Amino acid sequence: MNTLTAIQERRSIKQFDPNHKMSEDEIQTLMEHTLLSPTSFNMQNWRFVLVTDQAQKERLKEAAWNQAQVSDASLSVLLCADLKAHQQAERYWANAPQSAQEMIIPMIHKFYEGKEQLQHDEALRSIGIAAQTLMLTAKALGYDTCPMIGFDPNQVAQIIQLPQDHLIGMMITVGKALKPASQRSGSMPMNEICFNEHF
């Protein structure tokens, strides 16, 4: 599917076919492309929990105030991030020339260490970019998605056994739509959103 078409046709779907199952190859392809998303300093600070087990999806559904898409979709993805990913900078630049490693690795430590707000903001930036990549890849593969923040994050953290120093940014459900999305509810005019050179 053309990228522009995928962007135009991506919609948030609430009703999924509960009988449809994604293949392991499809999930692999989905995530391989999601992992091509950019991150600051190549930190790859996102972490993804892929949920296909029906009992686990039912637990997530309960934590999401019983929204049906969580259990009916073929796949529910928890998009998380490691807030301390910067502390392992050596891993992200292991294949770079030595000169690049010597310059960039200390820079990463200095840039993020002790700056909790920046670590938090960077995690959400990375999750946001990856989320859009995931949804557009799913659309290109013939699947629909629904990005969600409507859940109890503490309850979900317990369900997925979220490690310390990690956060949950959102959940995305992936599957086959039972019916098309409703008509778009309305868009702001471009001239109220986009500005040339300054506000």
* Structure confidence at residue 179 (pLDDT): 87
Q: What is the pLDDT of residue 185?
A: 86
Contacts of 38 (CB under 8 A, 6+ apart): 129
* Residues 133, 32 contacting (CB under 8 angstroms): no
- Which pLDDT belongs to residue 176? 98
One digit per residue, the tens of pLDDT, for the chain of length 199 reads: 899 999 999 999 999 999 999 999 999 999 999 999 999 999 999 999 999 999 999 999 999 999 999 999 999 999 999 999 999 999 999 999 999 999 999 999 999 999 999 999 999 999 999 999 999 999 999 999 999 999 999 999 999 999 999 999 999 999 999 988 888 888 899 999 999 999 9
Return the axis-axis angle of helices 98-112 and 116-140, rounded to nearest 10°.
120
Q: What is the pLDDT of residue 181?
A: 86
Q: How far apart are CA 1 and CA 64, in angstroms?
A: 32
Distance CA 44, CA 39 (A): 6
Q: Which domains does the chain have, with CATH numbers?
A: 3-177 (3.40.109.10)
Task: State the CB neighbour count (10 A cutoff) for residue 191.
Answer: 7
Cβ atoms of 147 and 131 within 8 Å: the answer is: yes
